[in-house]
Amino acid sequence: MYKWFLAIRYLRTKLIAVFGIASVMLCVAMVLVVLSVMGGFLDTVRERARGLHSEIVLEAGTLQGVPYYEEFGAYLQQQLPGVVDIVTPVIYTYGIFRVPATTWTKPARVLGVHLDDYVRVNTFAGGLHYDKYYPGSSRLDPQSMPVAGVGPSGDLVLPPDLQQANASWRESEADPEALTAYDADPFVEAPYPYVTATPRSTSERVYAAEPGPPRYAGPERDGVIVGVDLLFARRTSGTFERYLARGADVALTLMPLSPAGNPMGELPSKVPLRYVDDSRTGIFEIDSLCVYVDFDMLQHRLAMDPQPLADGGMTKPRANQLLISTREGVDINEAKDQIAMAWSVYGASLGLDPDSQEARALGLAAVYTWEDMQRQFINAVEKEKVLVTFLFTLISMVAIVLVGCIFYMIVEKKTRDIGILKSIGASSLGVAGLFVVYAGAVGLVGSILGTIFGSVVVWYINDIQDFLASLHPQLRMWSPDVYSFDQIPNVVKQADAVWVASMAVLASILGSIIPARIAGRVWPVEALRYE
């Protein structure tokens, strides 16, 4: 009984316990912050990787693509109706992206997508910029340039369909802050051609447009959605410097390939396009490289649509990927196996000459899950997890040593008390137990305080960083222009908190074991000889 009694009493009356508690608290807070931020970071990365494609992907494995993708899609939906939900093809190739107004060029990975289906198999739609404020207005089909004009009441207005889209967004937007942010600077937030903004004061701008009513102008051109980092630089505030207005002329230079992979047609093929939106998946490597155009347009431009053959027949159209979304509740690894099986059964059912180009293309295609597709990326993520765990272990060691030192000091100071307890019949084990209980109590109190402190830090971490950055820009710890996240992850997982806290209690107890054993060995007479 005296163990518990004295442990609590020491905890309440000894100043040194405060140091023990403080060190455990700081360790717990530190580990919890690191774990929460890193964990949040990893979760976001994973989440985004998942949203890139679709659950399952049939990948051609070559740039020239695979035939029979359409037939196979239909076959899948007929054979595995309980597994397969939406099937949509993608073409990808590489090209040179150019903004003629600036003579500025960049390499680009060009994706041809059926936008309506594409946004249903992944999270692409959530990363579109103009489409947020003007829902449904980002299309890839040929279109003219939207031009703002002066409305009846003298303000700047857009063509009616865009006005309407914007109004529908305003009605449905749940976040009032998003509305205020947009209203503060609508044409800077989402620029349109010929609108110039002159600051009248720091809080107000005046917009001017070309004379005339709102309208669509210029030739119709195929739309292109551009990865945001490919076009714009990111500010430290996390927003983008949008110098290009919606509808601006841009161009892509492409290189068509024959089914065998040889360059073909008139080389190279230059495609004028209209910038309709920009996309942000949150993964820099993608957003700084990818542009999205209409599937049929790209297929045609790359000569992957049916081509006449010498014998009078036509080639089969080709695509590079077939994105397959699964139905809810389906295990995606099982689905992958089923679809892979279906692919080989389907290929065999075609009865192609095994040496033919088509048969070889079919043989090169393979089925992957989204995780397989992002294997490299996810592996890197998992490596970081290992790193975090390693750091965590290291920190725990520090905590153990720290607690050990503090308890060693406590034992030194309490030798006389130990002698007294032994002289009235306490056992070595009992005295050692006293210090273990004491350490456990220090660990417990420290853990609880540390969990609270750490959680508060995590919850307010973005405010803390804003405050630090306001003191000195160098103190900004998270730069949104480097990471693709605007904000430092600020969620504490309950399981993490419980785990960290209990590890800290355990570490405290572990740290006290050596000092406790020393205490247990104290020879009563030695401890009591002198005042």
Partner 1 sequence: MLRARGLHKSYRMGRSHVHVLRGASLDVGRGEFLVIRGASGSGKSTLLHLLGALDIPDRGSVEFEGTDLFDRGDAIRRAYRRRSIGFVFQFYHLLPECNVLENVLMPRLVAHSLLGWRSARRTARRDAATILERVGLSERSKHRPSELSGGERQRVAIARAIVNDPVVLLADEPTGNLDARIGGEILELLTELNEAGQTVIMVTHDDKVASRAHRRVQLTEGIIKEMDGSGGDAASARRIIKEVAP
Q: In terms of CB distance, is 12 or 472 closer to partner 1? A: 12
- Regarding 330 and contact with partner 1 (CB under 8 A), the answer is no
Other Cβ atoms within 10 Å of 91 Cβ, number: 26
Q: Which is nearer to partner 1, 220 or 412 (CB)?
A: 412
- d(CA 39, CA 396) in angstroms, rounded, equals 18
CB of 511 to partner 1, least distance (A): 22
Alpha-carbon distance 455 to 492, whole Å?
A: 6
Q: CA-CA distances (angstroms) from residue 429 to 411, 420, 439, 521?
A: 14, 15, 15, 9
Of 109-117, 203-211, 226-234, 419-427, which segment contacts partner 1 by CB under 8 A? Answer: 419-427
Residue with tokens 């192609």: 352
Question: Of 104, 460, 467, 523, which lies in the binding site for partner 1, with binding defined by CB under 8 A?
Answer: 523
Which of 228, 271, 220 has the alpha carbon at shortest distance from 93? 271
Q: Output 17 or 507, the one with its CB closest to partner 1.
A: 17
Based on the shown chain and the rule CB under 8 A, indicate whether residue 444 belongs to the binding site for partner 1.
no
Q: Does 375 sit near partner 1 (CB under 8 A)?
A: no
CB of 407 to partner 1, least distance (A): 16
| Amino acid code (one letter) for 143 | Q
| Residue 1 near partner 1 by CB under 8 A | yes
Among 393, 427, 470, 502, binds partner 1 (CB under 8 A): 427
Judge contact between 165 and 137, C-beta under 8 A.
yes
Nearer to partner 1, 12 or 200 (CB): 12
Omega cis (within 30) before 268: yes
Nearer to partner 1, 170 or 529 (CB): 529
- The CB-of-428 to partner 1 minimum distance in angstroms stands at 8
| 417 binds partner 1 per the rule CB under 8 A | yes
Rule CB under 8 A: is residue 524 a binding residue for partner 1? Answer: yes
**In whole angstroms, what is the distance from residue 6 CA to residue 471 CA?**
47
CB of 1 to partner 1, least distance (A): 4
State which residue, 62 or 415, has the beta carbon closest to partner 1. Answer: 415
**433 counts as binding partner 1 under rule CB under 8 A:** no
Q: Give yes or no for residue 236 binding partner 1 (CB under 8 A).
A: no
Among residues 269 and 415, whose Cβ is nearest to partner 1? 415
Among 306, 430, 440, 480, binds partner 1 (CB under 8 A): 430
- Kindly state the number of chain residues that form the binding site for partner 1, as judged by CB under 8 A: 30
Calpha distance 508→518 (Å, rounded): 16
- Other CB atoms within a 10 A radius of the CB of residue 271 amount to 19
Taking the least distance from each CB to partner 1, the nearer of 106 and 416 is: 416
CB-based contact 288:240 (threshold 8 Å): no
Residue 411 burial (10 A CB sphere; 0-12, 13-18, 19+)? buried
CB of 507 to partner 1, least distance (A): 24
Q: Are 270 and 221 in contact (CB under 8 A)?
A: no
As measured in angstroms, the least distance from the Cβ of 238 to partner 1 is 54
In whole angstroms, the minimum distance from the beta carbon of 420 to partner 1 comes to 5
- SS3 state at 202: coil
Q: Is 194 left (phi over 0), alpha (psi -120 to 50) or beta?
A: left
Among 267, 348, 477, 525, binds partner 1 (CB under 8 A): 525
Kindly report each contact of residues 419-428 with a partner whose C-beta sits within 8 Å and lies 24 or more positions away, as own/partner: 419/522, 419/523, 419/524, 419/525, 419/526, 419/527, 419/528, 420/524, 420/527, 420/528, 421/2, 422/522, 422/524, 422/527, 423/524, 423/528, 426/2, 428/520, 428/521
Q: Is 419 in the site for partner 1 (CB under 8 A)?
A: yes
Neighbours of 53 (CB within 10 A): 23
Q: Which of 420, 448, 449, 468 binds partner 1 (CB under 8 A)?
A: 420
Site for partner 1 contains 445 (CB under 8 A): no
Rounded to the nearest whole angstrom, what is the least distance from the CB of residue 404 to partner 1 in the complex?
22
Region 9-38 residues binding partner 1, contact defined as CB under 8 A: 9-10, 13-14
**Residue 416 binds partner 1, judged by CB under 8 A:** yes
User: Residues for the chain: how many in total?
Assistant: 531
Binding part of the chain for partner 1, among 88-96, 162-170, 319-327, 413-421 by CB under 8 A, reads 413-421
Shortest Cβ 13–partner 1 spacing (Å):
5
Q: Is residue 182 part of the contact set for partner 1 (CB under 8 A)?
A: no
List residues binding partner 1 (CB under 8 A).
1-6, 9-10, 13-14, 416-417, 419-428, 430, 523-525, 528-531
